[in-house]
Structure 1
Amino acid sequence: MPILFSAVACNKRLLTKFASCDGNFMEIVEEVISKIPCRNDKMTYSHGHYLLHYIVQEKYFYFCITDKSCQRSRAFLFLNEIQRKFQTSKKSDEFANVLSAEMYRFSEDHNTITIRKGDLDELNSIGVGSSETILGEKILFVNNIDNLPYYSTISYVRKTPERVLLLVKNTNTKLYLTVAVIIILILGLAIYIFGATSSAILIGGLLFFFFRSIT
C-alpha cells in the first residue's frame, strides 16, 4: 500500500491518525508538526525510500507518508480529499475510519478517484526538500510485511528434498524385493532341473556377479 500513514492536526496538536502498517510514524509526525511554520503551505520532503507530504491551511495540518512508488499527484489528491472531508465533518474521534478508507482508495482502487478542477494545477509549484531540515537525524522505520511470502517460500523449498529422498528409498526397496523374488524362482527351477549341488554352484555364481555389479 503506497500510502502508509496519514494524520490531521490543529494548532500543532494531533487530532487523528491512521497507519496501514507498523512503524515509528508518531515520532516522525510529531517532529514535523513541531518544525514546520504555521503559514499556509504545501510541501514534500524526501526521506530515504519514503516521501512526507503535507498541507497547512488556516491552522490545520494534513499529512501523509508514502513510499516512492506513489506519485506526488496522488498523494496531494489524497490530502485535498482529506481536507475537504475533515472540514465537513470536524469529528476527529471518528475520522480515523475516513483516513483508513481514503488511504485504501487512493492506494489500491484508482478507478474511483475523482480529480476536481484545480486539484493538480499547483502541483509543479509545490516544493520538494530533504527531510534533514525538519527531522535532523531521525529515521523512519517501517515494518515491511511484504517479506513474509519470501520466508514462506524458503520453508516450502526445504521440504521438497525430503519427499524426493523418501521416493528414492521406496524405489530401492521395491528393487531389492523384485530381485529376491527372481532369485528364489531361479533357485527353485535350477534345483528341479540340475539337482541341489549343481544349482548351489550356479546360484552362487549369479549372486557373486549381481552384488559385484551393484557395489
Structure 2
Amino acid sequence: MPILYAMVARKKTVLAEYTNTRGNFPAITVELLGKIRQEDHRMSVTQDQYAFHYEIAHGITYLCLSDDVERRRVAFAFLEEMQQNFDTTYGDRAQTAIAYGMSEFGNALQRLMAKYNDPGNDSLGQVQQRLADVKDVMVQNIDAVLERGERLEVLVDKSDHLNQEAFMFKQSSRQLKNAMFWRKVKIYLLITFVVGIVILFLCMMICNPDFSACKN
C-alpha cells in the first residue's frame, strides 16, 4: 500500500507536507481541510482506489493519501507515528505557526513514508502492536464530504511514481554492485596476505629464520 502524500495542518493552514509523486491531491487536500470538522476524530475519505486518511488531535490535522482503500490499519499507524514525531519536535508551536512554517518536517515525512512503503518492513506486525482496531473509523466518499455537484477525480502521475520506483531500484542496484565489488577486493587482499605469509614461512624453513642458509 504505497503512501503517496503526507501533510500536517492547523485547520486550513498547511504547516508541512511531502509527496513522492505528482498529482492534484494537494489542491484537493486544501479543499478537504475546509470541510472537515475540527474536533478530535479519525476518518477515511475515498475516491475510487484512493483514500485520504486523516486524524485530528488538539486542533492539528495529520493526513496521508494512499492508493489502497482497504488497508486503513497501516495508514493510521503511519499517521500515529507521524503525530508522535511532530509533537515531540514542535509541541505547542504548531498552534501559532504560519503556513509552511514547519516545512523542514517534510524530511521526517519522507523518511517515515519510506519506512511504511518498504515491503521488507513488518508493517502488519508494527500496526498490530501500535494501533487499536480501526473498524469504527468512518469512511465517506470525497464527493459527499466536499458537497460538490460534479464528480471529483483524484489524479496521480503514475509515470512519475514509476520513475521514482525505478530510481530507487537503480540506486539499490548500484549500492549492491558497490558492496559486491568491495567484498571481492577484501577477499583478494586476504588471499594475497595469506599467500605472502605461506611464502615467508617456507623461506624461513629453507633458509633459517635469519636467512643465513641462503646468503651464500
Task: Normalising by structure 2, report the TM-score.
Answer: 0.62
Give 1:129's aligned amino acid. Q
Q: Secondary structure at the match of 1:64?
A: strand
Counterpart of 2:153 in structure 1 is: 139
Distance in 1 separating the partners of 2:57 and 2:71: 22
Say whether residues 1:126 and 2:137 are aligned partners. Answer: yes
SS at the partner of 2:73? helix
* 2:15 equivalent to 1:39: no
Query: What is the aligned partner in structure 2 of residue 22 from structure 1?
Result: 22
1:115 to 120, 126, 130: 126
Aligned CA RMSD, in angstroms, stands at 2.4
Q: Tell me how far apart the structure 2 counterparts of residues 29 and 74 of structure 1 sit (CA, whole Å).
A: 20
Percentage of identical aligned residues? 28
Partner SS, residue 28 of structure 2: helix
Q: 2:108 matched to 1:98?
A: yes
SS at match of 1:35: coil
Task: Trace 1:43-192 onto structure 2 (pairs within 5 A).
Answer: 43-68=43-68, 71-90=71-90, 92-111=102-121, 113=123, 115=126, 119-135=130-146, 136=148, 137-145=151-159
Task: Give yes or no for contact 1:3–1:70 (8 Å, CA) kept in 2.
Answer: no
Distance 1:68 1:109, change over 3 A: closer
The structure showing larger relative contact order (alpha-carbon pairs under 8 Å, at least 6 residues apart) is 2
Correspondence for 1:195? none
Q: Secondary structure at the match of 2:86?
A: helix
Q: 1:53 to 1:69 in 2, by over 3 A?
A: closer
* Paired position in structure 2 for 1:10: 10
Count of matched residue positions in the alignment of Structure 1 and Structure 2:
148
1:15 counterpart letter in structure 2 = L
Which runs of 5 or more structure 1 residues have no equivalent in the other structure? 149-215
- State the structure with more CA Rg: 1
Provide the residue aligned with 1:165 in structure 2.
none
Q: Is the 8 A contact 2:51 2:69 kept in 1?
A: no
Deviations 1:149-188 (CA, angstroms, capped at 9, x unpaired): xxxxxxxxxxxxxxxxxxxxxxxxxxxxxxxxxxxxxxxx
> Displaced runs of 4+ in structure 1, greater than 4 A?
none
TM-score (norm 1): 0.62
Tell me the CA shift for residue 80 of structure 1.
0.3
CA distance change for structure 1 residues 139 and 88 in 2, over 3 Å: closer, same or farther? same
1:84-110 per-residue CA deviation (whole Å, 9 max, x = no partner) reads 000000282310001111111101155
SS at 1:139's partner residue?
Answer: coil
Tell me if the contact between 1:31 and 1:134 (Cα under 8 Å) persists in the aligned partners.
no
